[in-house]
A = this chain, B = another copy of it.
């Protein structure tokens, strides 16, 4: 049985999507000439500002291209579905946003992305464009706490990119941008649960199998297996399980502020996300933590996968300022 999708040829899906994005958001986005996978913010890059290039595989929309815009990322390099972009569009992005103050690469920590972005950085060095890299590693499920740098980057990207983009927009120095970006990443924690798979446009076949009554805790946003397969529980019990892991690591003190993201992996509707949000709030109340801002919806998806993730960013004064900083992206404005 094939998954039904509103696509043309599966192999054309990513390029046709990008064409649709550009015609829908001409005031926000354009593509580098002859490099259709390099998507640039019309009003973001400018002289003296650190340029922020994000990127990764397609299929996570609105991540990554939805976060390109004034006050957030300056460009996104777009790969095939669930596949890192190759160096060429990354290089084109970096050149388009370079304002002479350095270019920061930020992306989720996956072997493929690291290799491609590193190759791009090596080639940019030949052109004397200084590139630094901050990997996002917010997925609590993907490695123990003492191997934080081994973790995957998932929905926490939204807050981490947002903080770094604000630092760039505020004309922080390259050193300061990098520090703020690492700081944002270090204080961001995500745990997810998947209920049903998605299908790649080229295969139209579910990318993993899961039982009718099962859920997968800690599943990756490309359907990579998680930490445990359990039988499906109530929304409150699932939320507790995710929040337990997050709170255990976060080590916040009563009175601390947080930013919260309850994110759909694709087909889980807002009704379910808000039911989870209600429980997140109860758990945060119990821990004496204050929600400064919250996002609920489709922010970092895996095509039509069913499931949700919870992200908590442990704010301090600086992160709060950066998260509150205005941004104006095609798919995200504050």
- In angstroms, how far is the closest chain B Cβ from the Cβ of A86? 19
Q: Is the CB of B277 within 8 A of A20?
A: yes
- In angstroms, how far is the closest chain B Cβ from the Cβ of A27? 9
Residues from chain B with a CB closer than 8 A to the CB of A304 are: 267-269, 306
Residues from chain B with a CB closer than 8 A to the CB of A213 are: 2, 4
Residues from chain B with a CB closer than 8 A to the CB of A281 are: 20, 23-24
Residues from chain B with a CB closer than 8 A to the CB of A331 are: 297
Residues from chain B with a CB closer than 8 A to the CB of A21 are: 274, 277
Residues from chain B with a CB closer than 8 A to the CB of A238 are: 6
Q: Is the CB of B4 within 8 A of A195?
A: yes
Interface status of A99 (Cβ within 8 A of chain B): no
The contact of A277 among B23, B195, B301, by CB within 8 Å, is B23
Q: Is the CB of A306 within 8 A of B4?
A: yes
- In angstroms, how far is the closest chain B Cβ from the Cβ of A311? 13
Residues from chain B with a CB closer than 8 A to the CB of A272 are: 5-7
**A274 vs B266: C-alpha distance in the bound complex, in angstroms?**
15
Residues from chain B with a CB closer than 8 A to the CB of A20 are: 273-278, 281, 296
Q: Is the CB of B4 within 8 A of A232?
A: yes
Q: Is the CB of B24 within 8 A of A294?
A: yes
Q: Is the CB of B274 within 8 A of A24?
A: yes
**A5 vs B234: C-alpha distance in the bound complex, in angstroms?**
8
Q: Is the CB of B235 within 8 A of A7?
A: yes
3 nearest CB pairs, A to B: A267-B267, A20-B274, A20-B278
Q: Using a CB–CB distance below 8 Å, which chain A residues touch chain B?
A: 1-2, 4-8, 13-14, 16-21, 23-25, 58-59, 61-62, 81, 193, 195-196, 198, 201, 212-213, 215, 232, 234-236, 238, 260, 262, 266-278, 281, 291, 294, 296-298, 301, 303-304, 306-308, 331, 333
Given pairs A5-B272, A17-B278, 14 additional interface contacts (CB within 8 A): A4-B196, A4-B215, A6-B193, A6-B195, A7-B271, A8-B275, A16-B274, A18-B274, A20-B276, A21-B277, A266-B269, A270-B298, A271-B303, A298-B298
